């Protein structure tokens, strides 16, 4: 499995925080308090003296144990790669943090109105549930096997089931799990994905350019995701292969053509054009279509017209 850039950094940060919390700082107590690192980074109830605004970010890199960390990071790798490829790395970072902060705010709000008691909050679960919601929005018909269920379940129904389960447990379960943080992550992640999708659609309609991004952003909502990013068969890889195909001649080039100066100049110009298209497509894969310059959009649009002429 090839891990996308933002997902890789998030995995590393969570592992570093885990090592610091459980292996390093307990051996270096602060004022006799061995859990000072966890206490410093966990999200405290707003009404408590230990509350700080920065904890809305740091709490999502803390975990209550190895299994808590393992399952969150496993889910991040399964769903995060697909969502980051869809949004672009920079946008995925914003999305991930907004989902984590939003899940914490809903959890605190439910505590404020008395639905649940005030609690400390640690874990990436809220942000991960947001990633799951976005994955279900972009790839609703992707099928997953969930142990012990003996048949595959579409991602949209899986996430809907999680929402109902977490909401019900938040109301009635008596445990130490922040169920409403999970609900918050699902809601915020879904809203963010919907708004982002509408913005992309509006931009593409306004510029009149939607041929190469539509199959990835819009049509993908009716198709399943089959791990094409890992296999190199994703949208951008296919487009890159399409544009680069002219550099792989299917017929043997004759010696006469090779010595023709005009043909040589033509082939060199085509090679440079193909290299430029490759660079633009790589930029879309990393940062999203919205980060292209107007000149780059025009070049890609011209190339698409040539392919269909």
Per-position pLDDT tens, the chain of length 309: 689 999 999 999 999 999 999 999 988 888 777 889 999 999 999 989 999 999 999 999 999 999 999 999 999 999 999 999 999 999 999 999 999 999 999 999 998 898 888 889 999 999 999 999 999 999 999 988 877 778 889 999 999 999 999 999 988 877 778 899 999 999 999 999 999 999 998 888 877 554 334 333 333 444 433 333 333 334 334 333 433 443 344 444 444 455 566 666 777 777 887 888 888 887 777 777 767 787 877 777 777 666 554
Domain contains 216: no
Identify the pLDDT of residue 252. 46
Together in a domain, 190 and 241: no
Residues 6+ apart with CB under 8 A from 92: 4, 6, 7, 80, 83, 84
Domain contains 223: no
Under 8 Å between Cβ of 161 and 149: no
Q: What is the pTM of this model?
A: 0.68
Together in a domain, 95 and 194: yes
Together in a domain, 191 and 86: yes
Together in a domain, 154 and 242: no
Together in a domain, 151 and 246: no
Longest dimension (CA), the chain: 85
Together in a domain, 242 and 176: no
Q: Which of 154, 176, 198 delimits the end of a domain?
A: 198
Identify the pLDDT of residue 261. 64
Under 8 Å between Cβ of 41 and 62: yes
Together in a domain, 238 and 158: no
Q: Supply φ then ψ for residue 155, to 5 degrees.
A: -60, -35
Together in a domain, 153 and 263: no
Together in a domain, 177 and 252: no
Q: Which of 198, 221, 245 delimits the end of a domain?
A: 198
Instruction: Give the CATH number for residue 23.
Output: 1.20.1540.10
What crossing angle do the helices spanning 125-138 and 89-112 adopt, rounded to 10°? 120
Domain contains 222: no
Does 148 sit behind a cis peptide bond, omega within 30 degrees of 0 on the bond before it? yes
Under 8 Å between Cβ of 132 and 79: yes
* Residue 78 to residue 72: CA distance in whole angstroms: 10
Domain contains 141: yes
Question: What b/e string do you get for 125-159 counting C-beta neighbours within 10 Å, with b at 16 or more?
Answer: bbbbbbbbbbbbbbbbebeeeeeeeeeeebbbebb
Identify the pLDDT of residue 175. 79
Q: Which of 147, 182, 198 delimits the end of a domain?
A: 198
Q: What is the 3-state secondary structure (H, E, C) of the chain?
A: CCCCHHHHHHHHHHHHHHHHHHHHHHHCCECCECCHHHHHHCECCCCCCCCCCCHHHHHHHCCCCHHHHHHHHHHHHHHHHHHHHHHCHHHHHHHHHHHHHHHHHHHHHHHHCCCCCCCCECCCHHHHHHHHHHHHHHCCCCEECCCCCCCCEEHHHHHHHHHHHHHHHHHHCCCCCCHHHHHHHHHHHHHHHHHHHHHHHHHHHHHCCCHHHHHHHCHHHHCCCCCHHHHCCCHHHHHHHHHHHHHCCCCCCCHHHHCCHHHHHHHHHHHHHHHHHHHHHHHHHHHCHHHCCHHHHHHHHHHHHHHHC
Domain contains 203: no
- Per the structure, the complete domain to which residue 245 belongs is given by 234-308
Together in a domain, 130 and 58: yes
**Domain count of the fold of the chain:** 2
Work out whether the CA dihedral 218, 223, 227, 231 comes out positive or negative. Answer: negative
Together in a domain, 190 and 263: no
Which residues partner with 33 through β-bridges?
Answer: 30
Together in a domain, 123 and 66: yes
* Residue 107 to residue 115: CA distance in whole angstroms: 10
Burial of residue 230, with CB atoms counted within 10 A of its CB: 0-12 exposed, 13-18 middle, 19 or more buried: middle
CA angle 164, 167, 168 (to 5 degrees): 85
Domain contains 14: yes
Domain contains 214: no
């Amino acid at each position: 499995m090839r891990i996308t850039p933002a997902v890789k950094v998030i995995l590393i940060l969570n592992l570093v925080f885990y090592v610091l919390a459980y292996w390093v700082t307990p051996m270096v107590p602060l004022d006799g308090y061995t859990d000072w690192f966890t206490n410093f980074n966990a999200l405290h109830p707003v009404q408590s003296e230990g509350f700080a605004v920065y904890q809305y970010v740091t709490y999502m890199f803390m975990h209550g144990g190895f299994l808590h960390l393992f399952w969150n990071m496993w889910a991040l790798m399964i769903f995060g790669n697909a969502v980051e490829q869809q949004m672009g790395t920079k946008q995925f970072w914003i999305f991930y943090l907004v989902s984590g902060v939003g899940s914490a705010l809903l959890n605190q709000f439910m505590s404020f109105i008395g639905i649940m008691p005030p609690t400390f909050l640690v874990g990436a679960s809220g942000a991960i549930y947001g990633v799951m919601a976005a994955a279900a929005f972009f790839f609703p018909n992707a099928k997953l096997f969930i142990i012990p269920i003996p048949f595959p379940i579409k991602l949209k129904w899986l996430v809907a089931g999680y929402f109902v389960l977490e909401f019900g447990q938040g109301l009635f379960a008596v445990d130490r799990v922040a169920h409403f943080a999970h609900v918050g992550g699902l809601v915020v992640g879904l809203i963010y994905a919907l708004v982002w999708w509408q913005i992309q659609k509006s931009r593409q309609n306004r510029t009149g350019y939607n041929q190469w991004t539509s199959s990835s952003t819009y049509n993908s909502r009716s198709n399943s995701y089959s791990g094409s990013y890992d296999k190199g068969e994703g949208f951008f890889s296919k487009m890159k292969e399409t544009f680069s195909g002219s550099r792989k001649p299917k017929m043997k080039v004759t010696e006469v053509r090779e010595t023709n100066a005009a043909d040589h100049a033509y082939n060199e110009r085509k090679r440079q054009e193909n290299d430029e298209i490759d660079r633009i497509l790589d930029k879309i894969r990393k940062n999203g279509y919205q980060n292209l310059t107007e000149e780059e959009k025009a070049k890609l649009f011209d190339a698409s017209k040539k392919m269909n002429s």
